[in-house]
A and B are shown apart, each in its own frame.
Chain A
């Protein structure tokens, strides 16, 4: 099965700074997804990133706060800008199974997550 990796695995940042999280997939995929999981909460979709087009953001998330890049079919970045303690969360990227050539269509496969703490 495909491997999805994220960097960094965790970080502690000062408020007002920005952090860029990287997601790498070892096969080419069309759609990549970014999620936020706040402490003790479920996952919330931030945006969908398609290669060659602007990311599509969900309600409550804006590009200025969470800019996303998708330079090729195996890589994406999510930046958390001008951070505040409320941004402390786990950030996860995922890809859809059909993109990985797997039999499980419409199934999301997740990276290990990036645990962010903002002081």
Chain B
């Protein structure tokens, strides 16, 4: 069984300040972990993915995430927020279910608000 918890429903930052979106997961296997972003009235875009090759994963738009197995966390960060980063962010865990297919589980989402 797998699950994912996004610890904050909303995060509010000022433009130019760091961003931290928190995510904790549980999985019976060695999971793959993802962050997706959804801008208003848009579909989901893959930001980055962790697959065990490296614990620090760099994604698009300056975002990165660090996998910490001891803490079962996969927090998303960005050094300096931009107004265009305002969106909904989803943390996703996926492990190989019986039958061999990967079925992802989505967190509830964190709304990132960026103030000028």
Q: A: which residues have CB within 8 A of B? A: 31, 41-45, 48, 92, 96, 104, 106-113, 115
Contacts and interface: CB of A to CB of B under 8 A. Distances in A.
Given A43-B90, A48-B101, A92-B44, A107 B34 contact: yes
Closest 6 CB pairs of A and B: A106-B102, A112-B43, A110-B44, A43-B106, A42-B106, A42-B108
B43 A111 contact: yes
A107 B94 CA distance: 9
Contacts of B46: 104, 107, 109
B24 to A, nearest CB: 15
Contacts of A43: 44, 90, 106
20 contacts: A31-B101, A42-B106, A42-B109, A43-B44, A44-B106, A45-B104, A48-B103, A96-B101, A96-B102, A104-B46, A104-B49, A106-B96, A106-B102, A107-B34, A107-B46, A108-B92, A109-B46, A110-B36, A113-B42, A113-B43
A115 B38 CA distance: 14
B41 interface: yes
Contacts of B102: 96, 106
Contacts of B109: 41-42
Interface residues of B, number: 22
Nearest to A104: B49
Nearest to A115: B41
B77 interface: no
Interface string B25-49: 0000000101010000111111001
Nearest to B6: A42
Nearest to A33: B103
Given A48-B101, A106-B32, 14 more contacts: A31-B101, A41-B109, A42-B109, A43-B90, A48-B103, A92-B44, A96-B102, A106-B102, A108-B94, A109-B46, A110-B36, A110-B44, A112-B42, A112-B43
Contacts of A41: 108-109
Contacts of A42: 90, 106-109
